[in-house]
Structure 1
Amino acid sequence: MTLVRPADGELAAFAPVDFGAFVRERGAHAPVMQPRMGMSDPAAMRAGLAATKRAAASTVGTITLDSYTRVGDLGAVTEALRQGIALNGYPIVSYPERQTAEVLAGLRGRDFPVQVRHGSPVPQAIFAALIRLRLNATEGGPVSYCLPYGRTPLADSVRNWEESVRRYAALREQGVEPHLETFGGCMLGQMCPPSELVAISVLEALFFHHHGVRSLSLSYAQQTNHEQDVEAVWALRRLAGELLPTENWHVVVYAYMGVYPSTPGGCYRVLGLAAELAARTGSERVIVKTVAESVRIPTVEENVAALEYAAEAADLGRTGTPRMPAGESQTYLEARALVEAVLELDPDPGRALVQAFRRGLLDIPYCLHPDNRGRASSYLDEAGRLCWADLGALPLRHLVRPAGARQVSSSGLLADLSYVRRKFDEECAVLPGGRGLPPEQQRRAIVSSR
């Protein structure tokens, strides 16, 4: 594919659409679908964006960065590019600005904004590249891009993100509205009870706002029980409405990020339920996964198929206008208690987050980062709901019945980690068509099997 060269001065004059406002407007009618797509070859990356834009769904584009760029190993990026070795994402810091501008030229615009996805506790170089390119939508967070992925001290990650967010917020002075999405609702991908996912997502959004960003989205990753997920997303929406000092926010639902089903039918069923979760809760955006997730990096065609399938599943899953349930759910009460306990520590959200983890007021089950206490634990009950096995120092004892320091064995943990794969692959096996059930039958099965 021949890249389209932007005219001289086009990048400097380009004023991208407010990503958050775009998604809020489009997502008011049906969730906007988004892939997790990233290719190291510029022509392939452009082709992926173009295919996403053409998909039979309301979409936004994604440029996912490679793992070397995420950890700041730019020397490894240079060597891979020199040898022609494909990376697992787009090396935006290492390519000349003109190269990336050519990837975007004629594609991003008021009808198709593009978000950059990365995963770094040391994101300054990444943000600097985004600012130069006027790429005004990205995601992450000082906690969610630190604790699960490496050993960078949490206090360092908070300082790095403070610096980066303040610089990103300054785009507004150039007439560009920056957007940040919290990754806090996806901690470790699985086995973190929903109330803590909700709390960290809200806290990271407050951190972003504190440092100047006014266009926000809050994440929540699909877990192991659909009704518990519905309760959690409503809790997230309620807390965001109560605490965020801006109206320009929306919720993004991620398809399950843990051990994914190995059969096409199982994959489609999980993705369909994620799309339905968004539709039932009025969530404005969905991050999709494909049938190839458990075995390899998906192709562009597989990404487009997932986008279109999820859009149809969301349409089937919508039953009238979503309305927040009355009353305060257990998930909401727990999440609010966690948020309030953290915010009482310090008026600065970053310092409060560091203190909260130091004291164990936030504690991610099974997270091995040195700054995580590791005393809280969780398990799945018979219905697949995520429950607290041990609270550690979490400020929830007035809300959660002590589990008696329930012991979670290694075999029990492994069984819980594979619960979604096992459940959906087994369900798929008994449906007409078995393991290779085609998408159109899956769409009917998603509705009829509930």
Structure 2
Amino acid sequence: MIRDERIPSDELRRIDEEIRSNWHTGDDVDFEDAIAYHESLPDHKRFADVLESADKPLLQPRAGVPRLDDQIELLRYLHEEGQADLLPTTIDSYTRDNEYEKAQQGLEKARETGDDTLNGFPAVNHGVDGCRKLIDAVDAPIEVRHGTPDARLLAAITFAGGFQSFEGGPISYNIPYTKRHGLEETIERWQFVDRLAGAYTERGVRINREPFGPLTGTLVPPSIAIAVMLIEGKLAATQGVRSITLGYGQVGNVVQDVAALNALKKLGNEYLPDEVVVTTVFHEWMGGFPPDEARANGVISFGGMTAAIAKPDKVITKSPQEFQGVPTMEANSAGLRTTRQVIDMAIEQKIDIDGIAEEQDLIERETRCLMDTVFEHGDGDVVQGTLKAFDSGALDVPFAPSDSAKGAVLPARDDDGRVRIFEWADLAMDDDIKEIHKARLAQRADTEGRKQSFRMVADDVDAISDGKLIGRPQGDVKL
């Protein structure tokens, strides 16, 4: 039975040797050599230091292509033309599924044809040497962004390769992503990732860890997202991680988004140990985008304005080509510059919006209910509490493909566009909070002249891509 306990050093070494045998580039990982390489990096490439010392939100896009030279060119362009402060290396899907042979075949084909035959950078196949060439060639900190339920070999190679930030976690890279891996399995796998990051940290190389805040990216109630962030943050801290960036995905209502980001930072500092430096990252809208690029830029700008008011430490930007799929580097750069323009114009203004404090209080109360049930289910142990809470439905994520979550909770927007919970299922929440949600949704139903139903949920999922926030029915609506 796994528990929230630090992996002993001898067990860490045993697992490390085992997983490095899964692909030949694992043979090049040498911990002492890696420490020396990290120590040689200049201050402006040290991810945690750059992030934690910033005086305004830093911008980071998503980006990854298979060939090393092309990845270098892409990141340089985003840094120089897009003015990105922090850079990503998005990993390909085969690597995320630990299918390194298929990733190798895709990489070789990309080298032969010049085509992007993979949807990201196969870091395991490029190995330590390839990763270091990327780190050396680009003049900004770079993070590994992926989606991997079992990221152990990826972490071992990229940490040794010079990356100092690593996205993901056992819940956020399981529940929204896969049916193939049980939650207990991914928690155990990610304990190794976090312990390895902790081992580097203990030698003076702080590896920043960033749980994936948007989860399924579709109308996720803020308290559910924050609870998952706190759980993953606590699990990482147990293993010795000391720089943790908690994530949150935009839902679209400014009051609720600002309140949620405020609550995330406050609760992060409250629930995580004092020795952990807590930062926050705001993901611009992760749902469907309008097909028209002008309207898409409107969505991006709205995210920039929200960030200017809430002042998270980092913003993950979007491009006006989101509807089409993978953007060109020019479009990716445009999304960065659009966000930067809005933030720089708005951040020095004092913008007061009514209702933020009240919404933040509600989000904090909801989050505490969820965290309390985790502690109760596990008799204080976060791992066991998380497993049992998800198994019982006391903790849940809407629209989750994983069998490890019930996926029975359903959200819908209220009359102001804030995400409320329409179907609670077995989610652990106080009755008075449920009544607040019920009343807000009833108000919307009255405005629209229809009963509360799943139709509201479905309408809201597509609303922003259709050019609105709330999925109103066609016809007369009492506004």
CA distance in 2 between counterparts of 1:321 and 1:352 reads 42
Does structure 1 residue 90 correspond to structure 2 residue 121? yes
Residue 69 (structure 2) aligns with? 43
Residue 53 (structure 1) aligns with? 79
Question: What SS does the corresponding residue of 2:231 show, helix, strand or coil?
Answer: helix
Q: Is the 8 A contact 2:131 2:158 kept in 1?
A: no
Residue 276 (structure 1) aligns with? 305
Q: 1:366 aligns with which of 384, 399, 409?
A: 399
CA distance in 1 between counterparts of 2:211 and 2:351 reads 23
Deviation at 1:318, TM superposition (A): 1.8
Q: Could you state the TM-score of these two structures normalised by the residue count of structure 2?
A: 0.80
Question: What SS does the corresponding residue of 1:213 show, helix, strand or coil?
Answer: coil
Q: 2:334 aligns with which of 275, 298, 305?
A: 305
Does structure 1 residue 137 correspond to structure 2 residue 162? no
Q: Is the 8 A contact 1:31 1:58 kept in 2?
A: no
Does structure 1 residue 225 correspond to structure 2 residue 282? no
Residue 38 (structure 2) aligns with? 14
- Output aligned runs, 1:216-255, within 5 Å: 216-245=244-273, 246=275, 248-255=277-284
Residue 5 (structure 1) aligns with? none
Question: What SS does the corresponding residue of 1:370 show, helix, strand or coil?
Answer: coil
Question: What SS does the corresponding residue of 2:417 show, helix, strand or coil?
Answer: coil
Structure scoring higher RCO (CA < 8 A, sep ≥ 6) equals: 1
Does structure 1 residue 155 correspond to structure 2 residue 184? yes
Letter in 1 for 2:119: N
Question: What SS does the corresponding residue of 2:123 show, helix, strand or coil?
Answer: coil
Does structure 1 residue 332 correspond to structure 2 residue 364? yes
Q: 2:385 aligns with which of 352, 362, 381?
A: 352
Deviation per CA, 1:27-70: give whole Å up to 9, x if none: x2x21000101111111100112122224646111101001101
Deviation at 1:10, TM superposition (A): 9.7
With over 3 angstroms needed to count, the CA separation of the structure-2 counterparts of 1:179 and 1:97, relative to structure 1, is same
Letter in 2 for 1:212: G
With over 3 angstroms needed to count, the CA separation of the structure-2 counterparts of 1:99 and 1:122, relative to structure 1, is same
Question: What SS does the corresponding residue of 2:126 show, helix, strand or coil?
Answer: coil
Residue 434 (structure 1) aligns with? none
Letter in 1 for 2:201: R
Q: Is the 8 A contact 2:64 2:120 kept in 1?
A: yes
Residue 119 (structure 1) aligns with? 147
Residue 171 (structure 1) aligns with? 200
Deviation at 1:200, TM superposition (A): 1.1
Q: Single out whichever of 11-20 and 302-311 deviates more from structure 2.
A: 11-20
CA distance in 1 between counterparts of 2:82 and 2:363 reads 35
Residue 7 (structure 2) aligns with? none
Question: What SS does the corresponding residue of 2:49 show, helix, strand or coil?
Answer: helix
CA distance in 1 between counterparts of 2:240 and 2:34 reads 27
Question: What SS does the corresponding residue of 2:394 show, helix, strand or coil?
Answer: coil
Letter in 1 for 2:262: W
Deviation per CA, 1:61-114: give whole Å up to 9, x if none: 110100110111112112212333521100000113222222221424xxx211
Q: Is the 8 A contact 1:31 1:311 kept in 2?
A: no
Letter in 1 for 2:401: L
CA distance in 2 between counterparts of 1:14 and 1:270 reads 38
CA distance in 1 between counterparts of 2:348 and 2:375 reads 37
CA distance in 1 between counterparts of 2:323 and 2:242 reads 36
Q: Is the 8 A contact 2:248 2:283 kept in 1?
A: yes
CA distance in 2 between counterparts of 1:53 and 1:11 reads 26
Does structure 1 residue 76 correspond to structure 2 residue 102? yes
CA distance in 2 between counterparts of 1:309 and 1:57 reads 10
Letter in 1 for 2:130: Q
Q: Is the 8 A contact 1:360 1:394 kept in 2?
A: yes
Residue 444 (structure 1) aligns with? none
Q: Is the 8 A contact 1:20 1:249 kept in 2?
A: no
Where structure 1 has 5 or more consecutive residues not aligned to the other structure, the ranges are 1-8, 427-450
Question: What SS does the corresponding residue of 1:220 show, helix, strand or coil?
Answer: strand
Deviation at 1:316, TM superposition (A): 2.1
Deviation per CA, 1:234-290: give whole Å up to 9, x if none: 111221122221352211100111111211122111111212222211211100010
Letter in 1 for 2:87: G
Report the structure, 1 or 2, having the larger helix content: 2
Does structure 1 residue 379 correspond to structure 2 residue 412? yes
Question: What SS does the corresponding residue of 1:344 show, helix, strand or coil?
Answer: helix
Number of aligned residue pairs: 411
CA distance in 1 between counterparts of 2:190 and 2:469 reads 40
Q: 2:58 aligns with which of 25, 32, 52?
A: 32
Q: Could you state the TM-score of these two structures normalised by the residue count of structure 1?
A: 0.85
Q: Is the 8 A contact 1:11 1:101 kept in 2?
A: no
Letter in 2 for 1:187: L
Q: Single out whichever of 69-78 and 343-352 deviates more from structure 2.
A: 343-352
Identity of aligned residues (%): 26
Q: 1:419 aligns with which of 434, 458, 463?
A: 463
